Amino acid sequence: MPEVRDAAPVKVESLQSFLLANEEALATHLQNDEAWMQENLWNYQPRPQDLAFAATGNEKDVVMRFKRAIRINPEARLGLYAQLPPSYRLDNMVPITLKEVSVFNDLAHMNPDEFMRLQPGQTIAPLHVAVSANDEPDHGLDIGLFTDSGTAYGKEYGFGEQAFGNPNLEYGTQAPFHMAFYHESPVLYALGGFLKRTYPEMRIYQYQSLARFAFAQGHDYWGWRFMGLGLHYIGDFSNPYHVTPVPGNSTLSTLWVGLLNLLGLPDAQKEATQLVSNRHTVLEEFQSQLMTLQLQEGNHEHETLKSLAVEYPVNQYRHTDPVNLFSKVSADKADHVHHVLADTIPHAYVMDVNVEYTDLDATDELLDTVKLESGDAGFNQLTNTVSDLLADFSRHGSAYVQHILQAK
């Protein structure tokens, strides 16, 4: 997008500085957002009134007051850094430790060479700000937010008990903020009301609204950064494993699993959760490894990268699009993606309920494994499937970006 690629460099600013400079206006803005979300968002859980952001002028706790007001993990780092593409470097930048970026203990999936420290006052291309922020929600912003998460803030935030997620994963508590099921059978909702307790729509609205606010106030660094945060959830919505409970299962099969759980036989639900988690992880690992390899080799003509070159014009963004369009497009492709994975990935990775894929130490060889398992034809089929999902993200994300930039 030329308006992103060619945008003038922006001055880096700490979150504390941004908040203090706009404290009174932000308090009003967040209160208006809360009222709007209560009126317009599906299954929104109102923010407890004592968490409302108030302009106190206290610089020591302003960041914490903001985190609590938008109900993210109070331990989320939100520091100043750039996460650069593989093999990309910027002049005069030094690494930042991964513990300053992520709340997790297991950081093996993060490449420390890609994370560079930023300093207040220096300038950086907006593209790097948005791209870095796009990955940021997966560094712990949505961890521990439920009453049964074992955190003090989870008991205060008003989201209730966690509806679903894989407890075997350190990042499992973020699932209801990164996954949503809007297009299921009414019968399925009647039996499994927990499927409605999902919150990515809330995050998409929050961050696009904060981005527009920051741009309108002349704080462009945070405009681009909030934009990137919201793009993360739109990216999630282009993965069928984020918008369908059990891709590949019929409604009847899913209902049967739920019924067994209600009858006190939870093993079927645990097994379904394990299979979905494994398939979800394998799909994203394949995409990540494949695209990383192309960037490292400078192969910018690869179909996964070219699929992100959206054709203009894009549709005008509407606040209902995440539910009615983005997730619907992805949900309609869920069964196809499931069958492609079943045809191209080793059985143990995606079809064995007794396997936790992340325990197999098979990630580094995944690309080679797929070729051995299904040959060039299968490898290309999976690549084409990933590219198709990325093209959806490109179209939907571009509309979202243009909507935000209207405030600039």
- Domain boundary assignment for the chain: 1-183+194-236, 247-408
Residue 159 φ/ψ, nearest 5 degrees: -90, -5
Mean pLDDT (the chain, rounded): 91
User: Alpha carbon 95 to chain centroid distance?
Assistant: 24
Instruction: Give the pLDDT band of residue 268 (cuts 50, 70, 90).
Output: low
- 205 within 8 A of 318, measured Cβ to Cβ: no
If one compares 43 and 367, the residue with the highest pLDDT of the two is: 367
Instruction: Give yes or no for a contact between 228 and 132, defined as CB atoms under 8 angstroms apart.
Output: yes
- Per DSSP bridges, beta strands 115-117 and 123-124 are unpaired
Q: What is the pLDDT of residue 113?
A: 87
Separation of alpha carbons 139 and 98, rounded Å? 10
For residue 91, the model assigns a pLDDT of 77
pLDDT greater than 70 at residue 250: no
Among candidates 83, 162, 152, 163, which has minimal Cα distance to 117?
A: 83
- The pLDDT-based confidence of 162 (bands split at 50, 70, 90) is very high
Per-residue pLDDT of 86-106, as tens digits, reads 877 777 789 999 999 999 999
Rounded average pLDDT over 75-86: 94
Higher pLDDT, 246 or 238: 238
Of the pLDDT bands very low, low, confident and very high (cuts 50, 70, 90), residue 135 is very high
Beta-bridged to residue 83, according to DSSP, are: 115
- Interatomic CA distance for residues 147 and 251, integer angstroms: 30
C-alpha–C-alpha distance, residues 384 and 386, integer Å: 5
DSSP code string of 147-209: TTSS-HHHHHSS--S-----TTSTTGGGHHHH----SS-HHHHHH-GGGG---HHHHHHHHHH
pLDDT greater than 80 at residue 167: no
Nearest to 67 by CA among 79, 49, 53, 46: 53
Under 8 Å CB-to-CB from 114, ≥6 apart: which residues?
83, 84, 85, 86, 88
Structure tokens at 406: 């209207």
Examine the pLDDT at 229 and tell me if it is beyond 90.
Answer: yes
Residue 299 pLDDT > 90: yes
Ramachandran bin of 375, using left for φ above 0, alpha for ψ from -120 to 50, beta for the remaining angles: left
Instruction: Give the pairing of strands 10-11 and 123-124.
Output: antiparallel
pLDDT for position 249: 63
E strand or H helix that includes residue 10: strand 10-11
Q: Is 91 buried (19+), middle (13-18) or exposed (0-12) by CB count in 10 A?
A: exposed
One-letter amino acid for residue 88 of the chain? Y
Q: With bands split at pLDDT 50, 70 and 90, how would you rate the model's confidence at 408?
A: confident
Confidence of residue 267 (pLDDT cuts 50, 70, 90): low
- Measured between alpha carbons, how far is residue 241 from residues 308, 334, 341 in Å? 20, 7, 12
Which among 103, 52, 59 has a CA at the least distance from the CA of 78? 103
pLDDT at residue number 260: 40
Asked if 180 and 373 count as a contact pair (C-beta separation under 8 A), the reply is no
Return d(Cα 241, Cα 397) in angstroms, integer: 18
Between residues 182 and 251, which one has the greater pLDDT? 182
Of the candidates 220, 226, 10, the one whose C-alpha atom is nearest the C-alpha of residue 118 is 10
pLDDT at 195: 81
pLDDT at residue 253 in the model: 53
Contact in structure between 197 and 176 (CB atoms under 8 Å): yes
Q: Which of 42-51, 165-174, 233-242, 375-384 has the lowest mean pLDDT?
A: 165-174
CA pair distance 247, 351, nearest whole angstrom: 13
Q: How far apart are CA 36 and CA 46, in angstroms?
A: 11
Q: Sign of torsion, CA 372 374 376 378?
A: negative
Q: Is 23's pLDDT higher than 50? A: yes
- With a CB cutoff of 8 Å and minimum separation 6, the contacts of 305 are 291, 294, 295, 299
Does the pLDDT value for residue 387 go beyond 90?
Answer: yes
Instruction: Work out the average pLDDT over 205-219.
Output: 98
Residue 265: its pLDDT value, please?
A: 43
In angstroms, rounded to a whole number, what is the distance separating the alpha carbons of residues 134 and 85? 12
Confidence (pLDDT) at 93: 83
Confidence of residue 252 (pLDDT cuts 50, 70, 90): very low
Q: H-type helices in 263-365, by residue range?
A: 267-296, 303-306, 321, 327-331, 334-344, 347-350
Q: Which of 189, 257, 198 is nearest to 233 (CA)?
A: 198
In the chain, the percentage of residues whose pLDDT exceeds 70 is 93
Q: What is the mean pLDDT of residues 106-126?
A: 93
Range of weakest confidence among 48-57, 239-248, 389-398 = 239-248
